[in-house]
Amino acid sequence: GGTLLLDEGGVVIPTLFESTDVPGFPAGPTGVDDEYRAVEAGRSPEREYWARLARRRPDLDIGALWRDCSYVRGEVLGLIARLAGRVRVVAFTNDMAHWFGDDWPERFPAVARFDAVLEAAKLGVLKPDPRAFRAAADALGEESRRCLFVDDLAANLDGARRAGMAAELFDVTDPAGSTARVARALGLPADEPARRRVWSP
């Protein structure tokens, strides 16, 4: 049993740093990018990072890039297939609707099949605030200690842990390794279908 909460942008859906081939696009987590390091450390909100980029590069429509370049990671699809019926799978994003519109899950059929989709913006408090994670657990009717949260931003993991959840970092430069770590955290063998009891906190 238990619940797996997956961040959307960066975990389920690759970052723009991975999916976009615009000349001169910033490196984000894939290279030297001090501004993005501040986002990863929780010193700067992610949305402000994109707003600054949009001001610096008026030729870029960040929302259009997200909408045009986004897809669901194959590695995450594989993990979810292995978890089917064993662990509840929930998308937990801050505000995907900001970029994609309120019907965004319909753009990604795999996400539409998740057990639940939660947006922190609609719960009233954003990650990494621990209250966002407590609100998510309440909305799901789940105890925080029975939740594993996965995000590509370390600052968000800190908030989840402070709310009593287990947390795992998703390294966007190593999606296969990251999904293998999540599988192990859930009690699945790293490279074969599960035959035994899956994670039970």
Q: Given this model, what pLDDT does residue 196 score?
A: 45
Residue 92 CA, distance from chain mean position: 7
CA distance 67 to 163: 32
Q: Given this model, what pLDDT does residue 200 score?
A: 57
**Which positions of the chain have pLDDT values less than 50?**
193-197
Give this prediction's pTM: 0.92
The pLDDT > 90 percentage for the chain reads 86
Q: Given this model, what pLDDT does residue 189 score?
A: 74
Q: Given this model, what pLDDT does residue 50 score?
A: 96
Which spans in the chain are helix H? 16-19, 34-40, 46-56, 62-69, 74-83, 96-100, 109-112, 120-123, 130-140, 154-162, 175-185
CA distances from 182 to 60, 93, 119 (A): 34, 18, 22
CA distance 84 to 87: 7
Cis peptide before 128 (omega within 30 of 0): yes
